[in-house]
Amino acid sequence: MKIRRLLTSAAGSLALAAGLLGAGTGTASAETHQWTSVLQPILVDPYGNEPRPNLCLGVLNGSTDNGAPVIIWECNGNYDQKWSYFTREDGSHMLKNYKSGKCLDIPEYNFNAGTRLVQWDCNGGTNQTWYFSSDTYFKNPASGMVLDDPGGSRTWGTQAIIWPQNGGNNQYWQTYRF
């Protein structure tokens, strides 16, 4: 029951976020800045306890380099754990790291399950395009896969991947504005 409440709450938060992302002029240029938030995986331990709220999506060592791994790490308030959402003309979004100014990227358009995510200069490619679903998934339309915390890892430094949507808790994400 705890997980259902949490997912309902998270879905509501994401629906609100999607509403905010959809707000605007209607004739956006290539990208329109919407808002900045923190992404947290919704992880539940095997005993059904509430998720650990101290895990965030960030960039390894706060790097600003192209190709730097995007990882799960203890939430620490650093700017490498903050992401800006940009709405594109087609309604999709890019996720830009607040510190580096680089986008969440599927390297070299490798759309195979298990591909590890990095940050890269924003280029508008399909490997940097994400849709936010109403059930808190971040889906890349070109691959058909979602942002995934592999195996629901609680190990700091685990690199985020893309994986087929399977309903696992490790594919649910919550966002909150800072």
Residue pLDDT, tens place only, 25-76: 233 345 555 555 666 665 444 445 555 557 889 999 999 999 999 999 988 8
Higher-confidence residue of 12 and 117: namely: 117
Residue 15 has a pLDDT of 31
CB atoms within 10 A of CB 80: 24
Residue 5 has a pLDDT of 28
Burial class (CB in 10 A: 0-12, 13-18, 19+), 46: exposed
Confidence of residue 135 (pLDDT cuts 50, 70, 90): low
State yes or no: pLDDT of 168 exceeds 60: yes
Sign of the CA dihedral running 157, 118, 6, 137 = negative
> Which residues fall within 8 angstroms of residue 86, CB to CB, at 6 or more apart?
31, 32, 33, 34, 93, 94, 95, 96
Could you tell me the domains of the chain? 2-177 (2.80.10.50)
**CA distance from start to end of the chain:** 28
pTM of the model: 0.76
- Give the pairing type, strands 103-105 and 118-120: antiparallel
Residue 151 has a pLDDT of 85
Low-confidence winner among 3-12, 107-116, 129-138 (lowest mean pLDDT)? 3-12
Q: What are residue 17's phi and psi, to 5 degrees?
A: -60, -45
Rounded Cα–Cα distance for residues 78 and 88 (Å): 26
Burial class (CB in 10 A: 0-12, 13-18, 19+), 106: buried
Higher-confidence residue of 79 and 27: namely: 79
What average pLDDT does the segment 71-95 reach? Answer: 88
Task: Give the angle 140-65-175 at the CA atoms, nearest 5°.
Answer: 45
What average pLDDT does the segment 154-158 reach? Answer: 88
Residue 14 has a pLDDT of 32
